[in-house]
């Protein structure tokens, strides 16, 4: 892997807002509503499931 020549960071990162639990819940619900594809999730779940019997 190549060595990366990244510039040095001289400033602290900007402060992140601290979310209340209500705000966090709204954030999670929004992401589930707009970014979660149930159909793709179910198809992937079926592909990853083990459907072969196992016995000891």
| Confidence at residue 55, expressed as pLDDT on a 0 to 100 scale | 82
Q: Is pLDDT above 90 for 2? A: no
| Confidence at residue 14, expressed as pLDDT on a 0 to 100 scale | 86
- pLDDT 10s digits, 4-54: 888 998 999 889 889 999 999 999 999 989 998 889 999 999 999 887 888
CA 14 to chain centre: 22
């Amino acid at each position: 892997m190549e060595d990366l020549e990244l510039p040095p960071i001289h400033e602290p990162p900007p402060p992140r807002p601290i979310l209340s639990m209500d705000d966090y819940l709204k954030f999670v619900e929004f992401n589930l509503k707009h970014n979660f594809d149930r159909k793709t999730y179910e198809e992937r779940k079926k592909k990853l499931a083990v459907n072969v019997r196992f016995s000891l």
